[in-house]
């Protein structure tokens, strides 16, 4: 399978999110958070869009038990936070994007290749990388097969 890098401007996303604290436990890590988010959105009759997940902390910055990550679901419409669920806006920004099927290409390989690409391109990383899906990656095979990784970018300054 061919994996292409694409520099683009990602739109802004209004999201409901739940903060997760703890180690990376594999592909099912955020499943319960996304179940809570979808139930919350359904109860409020909100249309939803992208499913987004990312780590707030770098792997080397905090212990596994203290590492924070976020499960987000794009919401269309106005909503107020409640309980564990918060609301925020992920801003429109320039990103490098890779779309791939995790059953055909290793996610680790994609992330390592992105790091190498960023090292030699005219950009530097401007924020935490994130994974986006067009629906539930656990119940929608099409969403899983089209995993998008985005890394926010900004131009490197000239020396």
Is 22 part of a structural domain of the chain? yes
Is 34 part of a structural domain of the chain? yes
Is 66 part of a structural domain of the chain? yes
What is the C-alpha separation between 128 and 43, in angstroms, rounded? 31
Look at 2-11, 18-27, 122-131, 134-143 and tell me which has the smallest mean pLDDT: 18-27
pTM for the full predicted model: 0.89
Is 104 part of a structural domain of the chain? yes
Domain that holds residue 10: 6-155
Is 128 part of a structural domain of the chain? yes
Closest by CA position to 55, among listed 45, 37, 72, 67: 67
- Could you tell me the CA-to-CA distances from 89 to 26, 67, 68, 76, 96 in Å, in that order? 26, 22, 18, 12, 19
Looking at residue 1, its pLDDT comes to 61
Contact 74, 23 (CB under 8 A): no
Look at 29-33, 48-52, 155-159 and tell me which has the smallest mean pLDDT: 155-159
The mean of the pLDDT values for the chain is 90
Read off the pLDDT of each residue in 50-66 and give the average, rounded to a whole number.
Answer: 82
Structure tokens at 156: 């490197």
If pLDDT is split at 50, 70 and 90, which confidence band does 159 have? low
What total of structural domains would you count in the chain?
A: 1
Is 32 part of a structural domain of the chain? yes
Is 1 part of a structural domain of the chain? no
Which CATH number covers residue 34?
3.20.80.10
Neighbours of 56 (CB within 10 A): 14
Name beta bridge partners: 88: 15
Percent of the chain with pLDDT over 90: 66
Q: CA angle at residue 120 from 114 to 121, to 5 degrees?
A: 80
pLDDT at 60 over 80: no
Looking at residue 136, its pLDDT comes to 93
Is 74 part of a structural domain of the chain? yes
- pLDDT (tens digit, 9 = 90+) per residue, 122-148? 999 999 899 999 999 999 999 999 999
pLDDT at 25 over 80: no
Q: What is the DSSP letter of 64?
A: G
């Amino acid at each position: 399978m061919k994996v292409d890098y694409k520099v683009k401007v990602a739109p802004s996303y209004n999201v409901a999110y739940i903060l997760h604290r703890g180690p990376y436990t594999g592909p099912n890590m955020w499943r319960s958070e996304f179940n809570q988010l979808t139930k919350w959105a359904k109860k409020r009759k909100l249309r939803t869009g992208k499913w987004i997940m990312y780590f707030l902390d770098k792997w080397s910055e905090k212990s596994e038990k203290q590492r924070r990550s976020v499960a987000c679901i794009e919401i269309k419409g106005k909503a107020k936070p409640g309980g564990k669920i918060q609301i925020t806006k992920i801003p429109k920004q320039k990103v490098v994007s890779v779309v791939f099927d995790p059953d055909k290409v290793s996610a680790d390989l994609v992330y390592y290749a992105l790091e190498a690409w960023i090292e030699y391109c005219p950009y530097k990383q401007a924020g935490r990388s994130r994974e986006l899906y067009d629906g539930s990656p656990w119940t929608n095979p099409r969403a899983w097969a089209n995993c998008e990784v985005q890394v926010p970018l900004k131009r490197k300054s000239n020396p």
